[in-house]
Amino acid sequence: MFRLRQAATETPSLSQIGVVTLAVLLALAIYVVSVTVERFGDAPLFMLAVPLGLTAIAYGLTGGIAMGLLASTLAAAWWAEQGYPGGLAWLSSRAVTCLLIGAVLGWFADSRHALGRAIASHRELSLDMIATASFDGYFVEVNPAFTRTLGFTAEELVSRPFIDFVHPDDQEPTLAAVVEQTEEGRDVFNFQNRYRTKDGSYRWLEWTSRPDPEGRALIAVARDVTDRKRLEELEHEYQNRLEQAVRERTKELNRRNAELEEARQETMRRLALAAEYRDDETFEHTARVGHTAALLAAALGFSESEVQVIRDAAPLHDIGKLAVSDTVLLKPGKLTREEVEHMRRHAATGATILSGSSSGVLQVAEEIAQGHHEWWDGNGYPGGLRGDHIPLRARIVALADVFDALTHKRPYKPAWPVEEAVAEIRRLRGLQFDPDVVDAFEQLDPYELAGVERMSDRSAAIADDRAVA
Ligand SMILES: [Fe+2]
Ligand SMILES: [Fe+2]
């Protein structure tokens, strides 16, 4: 343990021998005074408590008892010199008192020395750094753990302001922590800074410190947490790399998902196109049915994702027409009964083509293909289902499909005017079509659905053209 600055600022203590010599001389002087100045009686003998205390502090129990014996002897000499006043009772009471005082003070002194040695051992053996620092910024006392950790000797550490050892980036917060204690009297817990070592590198220290009870010094304990900090930094770095990798992988995954989704949608469009290719001159029927079905679904309160599924699935409603022969499909005139039966098989065939898929869109497409020719009143095909027994999405596509077929030219029929097609839809309300779906249809703009201009809009446009000409 080193106490260099403390030794410089406090009164030096006398050695044990010096103390004992002083105590003996003092006891003899007290005796001489007591025998030469008779008018004070035995009062000066009470002053023997002073050399008793000094000896007990210097030599503990042994010193206290030895000085107690000397004091008893001097008291006995005074007693004999004075003609035995008070008899043996006087002498024995003084002797016992002197011995008791010496023994008790000596025992206290021994206990204190033992405590001091124990504390010193703890400080010396501690793996943590323990220091006392003055308010003017110097270490007063450091334990050997400082040297083991930083490499500097205790003399080097106490010879310069401790802030000189602190990493430049940590000096400002370190001084703030010191001010917090020296000026505000507050404790500081788990404060971290970097301390320079003998080889010029830095180590992270974690401090807990507080002003001593007298407010004259700082009591501080520090722990080397460099390894922990490195682990934390590694963990932080690893975490950052991991997050970066996850971000990149997620971005890549999203890109691939978008590509897959695009490929899926294109495949479905092309599949739908294949089904309608032979009887749809513009090839846009499938897309329009998907669009109209989506608007109807939205008007009926479907969620955004459900609307999207219908938009994707509806164009496949006639996929079963792949199995219908050209002679039947493209026949301009009336179909024979067998041909009608052949034609009607496209609904069940379409459902079979689409069945067994794990894709939600294809499962809905199967449901639509199967049910889009069912009638609300039960007169449809292939199941002759009635009302709510027909899946709602099939009921929606049924209307969208018929309206689009009516408003567009087919090999076997011309395009109907929008007004007539709307009237036909209304006429079939409750017969072929679900009344609720027809009501939803009424909320939409049939001209927009059919992709044609209103007569009034067309007249206004022609008038505008004439005005310009
Ligand atoms: Fe169909
Ligand atoms: Fe169709």
> Using one digit for the tens of pLDDT, what is the confidence trace for 255-301?
999 999 888 888 888 888 787 777 665 568 888 999 999 999 999 99
**How is residue 361 written in tokens?**
């869109």
Confidence of residue 12 (pLDDT cuts 50, 70, 90): very low
405 Cα–ligand 2 center, Å: 7
Confidence of residue 392 (pLDDT cuts 50, 70, 90): very high
Instruction: Give residue 14's pLDDT.
Output: 57
Report the CATH superfamily, name and number, of domain 126-224: PAS domain (3.30.450.20)
Q: What is the mean pLDDT of residues 91-114?
A: 92
464 vs 455: CA distance, rounded Å: 14
Report the CATH superfamily, name and number, of domain 272-468: Hypothetical protein af1432 (1.10.3210.10)
Among all ligands shown, which has an atom nearest to the Cα of 343?
1
114 Cα–ligand 1 center, Å: 105
Question: In sequence order, what are the residues at sequence separation of 6 or more whose Cβ sits closer than 8 angstroms to the Cβ of residue 336?
Answer: none
Are the beta carbons of 191 and 219 closer than 8 angstroms?
A: no
Among all ligands shown, which has an atom nearest to the Cα of 316?
2
350 Cα–ligand 2 center, Å: 12
264 Cα–ligand 2 center, Å: 21
Q: Say if residue 425's pLDDT is above 90.
A: yes
Question: In sequence order, what are the residues at sequence separation of 6 or more whose Cβ sits closer than 8 angstroms to the Cβ of residue 71?
Answer: 27, 48, 51, 52, 98, 102
Q: What is the mean pLDDT of residues 393-418?
A: 92
Are the beta carbons of 346 and 321 closer than 8 angstroms?
A: yes
Per-domain residue ranges of the chain: 4-124, 126-224, 272-468
Among all ligands shown, which has an atom nearest to the Cα of 324?
1
**How is residue 13 written in tokens?**
């203590």
Among all ligands shown, which has an atom nearest to the Cα of 382?
1
Q: Say if residue 411's pLDDT is above 90.
A: no
Among all ligands shown, which has an atom nearest to the Cα of 314?
2
Are the beta carbons of 162 and 150 closer than 8 angstroms?
A: no
Instruction: Give residue 455's pLDDT.
Output: 60
Tens digit of each residue's pLDDT (9 = 90 or more) over 320-358: 988 888 888 878 788 899 999 999 999 999 999 999 988
Among all ligands shown, which has an atom nearest to the Cα of 403?
2
302 Cα–ligand 1 center, Å: 23
372 Cα–ligand 1 center, Å: 7
Among all ligands shown, which has an atom nearest to the Cα of 394?
1
408 Cα–ligand 2 center, Å: 11
